Amino acid sequence: MSAPRDPLLSREGRTWLLNALLEAPPENIEKHCNIQLLNLLSADALPGEKNIDFRACLNRLDRLTAFVQSSIERNRHHFTRSEYRHCEPMWRMAMLVTNLKRDFGVAYDPAVKADLEHDGHSPFTDSRNAFIHGMLGDDPKRRWGSCSSIPVLVTAVARKLGYPVRLAINRRHVWARWEDEHGLKFNIEASNPQGMASPNDEHYRAMFGEPTERETRSGLYGRSLLAAEEFSLFMKTRVTSLYDAARYAETLLWSARALQWCPDDPHFAMLAYDAAMLAIKHRYRQKYPGRSIPPMERNKEFFFNLDEMLQVEERSLFLTIEAHRAEYMGEIENARKWFIESARQNFHGNNEQRDLQRFIKKHGRAARSGAILPPKDVGQPRRINLPNCLPEKEYDTLRSFADQFEQNGELLKARDTLHDLYLFDPADAEVFCRARSLERQPQFQSQLKAVMAERRKVLDSARHKPISPTLLGGQRSLAGTLA
């Protein structure tokens, strides 16, 4: 699918944009995408408001930012008499939060607040409470949010004003945080009933009890998030919304990408795994109605067959989730196996390869002994046939073929050979990068177009080929037999 002129105007366009973002290097998010767009894209087609008017939301955010900027400049003379007289950035953020709450009408959703006061939990059954479109709608009397969305709106406006504000999180709360190049840091709490508060870091650290060793070791809680980690936070919010709506199968992509973009989260791996297993169990019941879900067998990885229950594009996603679960549980050898297998299932998986290299850097590669043998039962067909080659020689032979094809300018064959090498050893980042480099070359694109055109020509020819009299006679004879 080619890039649409304005991808935000259609579901297909937003899907194209989202897929492009999810496959981009995380560091590019910092440069090329803003927080409000990432948040809105993560909310698309969720319960509560299935048809978000993206352009209307972004235009209203522009007008809101202009109003806040005007208000700050108009009231600049009050700064020295305010309680923030020793810190102008804090005064500016207090004005921003006051404008959003008092003038624009942003408030904590009363239903969510009641749920939290009752038992400490509120399901994400309405996406308007969890994402910023709920506060950017047309109804001025319903600009409600929660700690999942109010700090995001505050941060979005602040960044449009040029302020160095990011999100921060702990076990169950999100807030905004000013952190500039001069070393000034302070927290911005806007989900409270009054105006802006600025608790210290210790307040958030002990908000839900002392942090666990795992939480402390992760280093994620309490610091300013990177742009990729903020996007991951929105993905996790989407997963929770899908989970609460029992749309488990839809969580696979978002869970896998959230884990890959923020692997330091000390808790999300288990929620992602639970949602994935529920998706598999639902499919099993649909495929085999009336049959009980089989128990896990000893020495068997799963109760189901991956090829049977998962579509091709889902396998690497599920294996990523399983790999992160194993890493979370300290099952390092199992995790290593699943990270490798996840990459093997997706030859073009930038996220899978990056995740695998992160794991290797942290935990090391598996020790090797002997030659690299052909992989078995990987569910991915080989592209280069080596019928007379000994198994222990295939890897070296493929490497030699890849070099020869590339030197001869046969880039399609070189890429296909690299594909087979990747099946042998997905941990070899050089093979992955070399294949991507080939695919970017104009000569490769020309060869690919020529091959695709030839295939279409053959298919069209077969489609319009007249049926032979012999075949027609055979059909009539079979029809007579059946009659």
* pLDDT one digit per residue (tens) for the chain, 483 residues: 567 888 998 989 999 999 999 998 888 888 878 999 999 999 999 988 778 999 999 999 999 999 999 999 999 988 877 777 689 999 999 999 999 999 999 999 998 888 888 787 888 889 999 999 999 999 999 999 999 999 999 999 999 999 999 999 999 999 999 999 999 999 999 999 889 999 999 999 999 999 999 999 999 999 999 999 999 999 999 999 999 999 999 999 999 999 999 999 999 999 999 999 999 999 999 999 999 998 877 667 888 888 889 999 999 999 999 999 999 999 999 999 999 999 999 999 999 999 999 999 999 988 778 889 999 888 889 999 998 999 999 999 999 999 999 999 999 999 999 999 999 999 999 999 999 999 999 999 999 999 999 999 888 888 776 655 443 343 333 333 332
Is the CA virtual torsion 267, 268, 273, 275 positive or negative?
positive
The Cα–Cα gap between 373 and 396 comes to: 10
Element (H, E) at 360: helix 350-363
| Confidence (pLDDT) at 301 | 81
Q: What is the Cα–Cα distance from 127 to 47, expressed in whole angstroms?
A: 6
Q: What is the pLDDT of residue 409?
A: 97
Please give the C-alpha separations between residue 5 and each of 11, 17, 80, in angstroms, as whole numbers: 13, 11, 48
Q: What is the Cα–Cα distance from 304 to 291, expressed in whole angstroms?
A: 13
Side-chain half-sphere exposure of 26, counting CA atoms within 13 A: 19
Closest of 351, 352, 332, 335 to residue 343, by C-alpha: 352
- Dist. CA 227–CA 164, nearest whole Å: 12
Q: From residue 153, how far is each of 17, 97, 250, 421, 481 by CA, in Å?
A: 21, 10, 26, 47, 72
Q: What is the DSSP letter of 291?
A: P
CA distance 137 to 292: 46
Q: Is the distance from CB of 244 to CB of 124 less than 8 angstroms?
A: yes
Whose tokens are 């692997």? That residue is: 263
Residue 465 per-residue DSSP state:
P
Q: Tell me the residue type at 290.
A: G
User: Exposed, middle or buried by CB within 10 Å (0-12, 13-18, 19+), for 446?
Assistant: exposed
Of the candidates 147, 155, 111, the residue with the CA atom closest to the CA atom of residue 131: 147
Q: What b/e string do you get for 182-205 counting C-beta neighbours within 10 Å, with b at 16 or more?
A: eeeebbbbbbeeeebbbeebeebb
Residue type for position 474: G
- Helices in 267-305 by DSSP H: which ranges? 268-287
d(CA 258, CA 236) in angstroms, rounded, equals 6
171 three-state secondary structure: coil
Q: Is 325 exposed, middle or buried (0-12, 13-18, 19+ CB in 10 A)?
A: buried
Count of alpha carbons within 13 angstroms of residue 218, beta-carbon side = 23
What distance in Å separates the CA atoms of residue 284 and residue 462, rounded to the nearest whole number?
Answer: 38
pLDDT at 472: 38
Rounded-to-integer distance, Cα 472 and Cα 452, Å: 32
Which residues on neighbouring strands pair with residue 167, listed in sequence order? 176
Q: 108: how many CB neighbours lie within 10 A of its CB?
A: 20
How many CB atoms within 10 Å of residue 288? 11
pLDDT at residue 347, rounded to an integer: 96
CA neighbours within 13 Å on the CB side: how many for 266? 16
Assess contact for 35 and 227: CB atoms under 8 A: yes
Q: Which of 72, 48, 270 is nearest to 146 (CA)?
A: 48
Amino acid at 411: L
pTM listed for this prediction: 0.91
Say if residues 198 and 90 touch (Cβ distance below 8 Å).
yes
Structure tokens, 92: 């500016």
The pLDDT score that the predictor gives to residue 121 is 80
Q: What is the pLDDT of residue 479?
A: 32
